[in-house]
Amino acid sequence: MKQANLRLVVIIFAGLAVPAGFAQGQYRSLPSSAKIILRQVADIHGEAGPFAVAGYRMGERALRELRLSSGSFSLEVLHKTPFKVQWSCVADGVQAATGVSVGKLNLWLEKAPVQDTRTIIINRKTGKELVFRLQPQFVKRFLNLPENELGAAGREVLSLSDSQIFSVVTKNQSDNK
């Protein structure tokens, strides 16, 4: 009897661990690489909505340009954002792509007005810094969508070019002095 109850608990907890959308099978028709990305974002964020997926795309771009791998302690991320859902979701997407975290002390949020929202990703060893800003047309298209449209919008963001999602400026920390 105790073993049966334990199995039930494991099954219940396993069901809770499946991000929204995966349990319903709405990702079946996607390429496996897209499924992996959406799963990574959902594992961190709870759902792969458009702003979180945009953050993931920023993180991927930063890893390529900074020539670092996910989980590197050389990465540092500062996300300047209004403390409002959607804007702050970007940080979770960056975390999913890069492996930065609050616990590793390499992911920081700083309160900023909407017009100053940006994500700064730095290679601590080289001082190279990438400053990402969401494109105005991206924000216009995806801000304040109904909750039942977020999953489809996140999948759509995967198909967009980087330039449709964000702008990026490269700096060296010595440029800031």
Q: What percent of the chain has pLDDT over 90?
A: 76
- pLDDT tens digit sequence for 100-139: 999 999 999 999 999 999 999 999 999 999 999 999 999 9
Helix (H, G, I), strand (E, B) or coil at 128: strand
Mean pLDDT over residues 38-43, rounded? 93
- Domain at 26-176, CATH class: alpha beta
Mean pLDDT over residues 48-73, rounded? 96
Q: How far apart are CA 41 and CA 31, in angstroms?
A: 16
Say if CB 35 and CB 91 are below 8 A apart: no
What are the domain boundaries of the chain? Answer: 26-176
Close Cβ partners of 96 (under 8 Å, ≥ 6 residues apart): 40, 41, 43, 44, 45, 52, 55, 56, 59
Say if CB 63 and CB 70 are below 8 A apart: yes
Rounded to two decimals, the pTM is 0.81
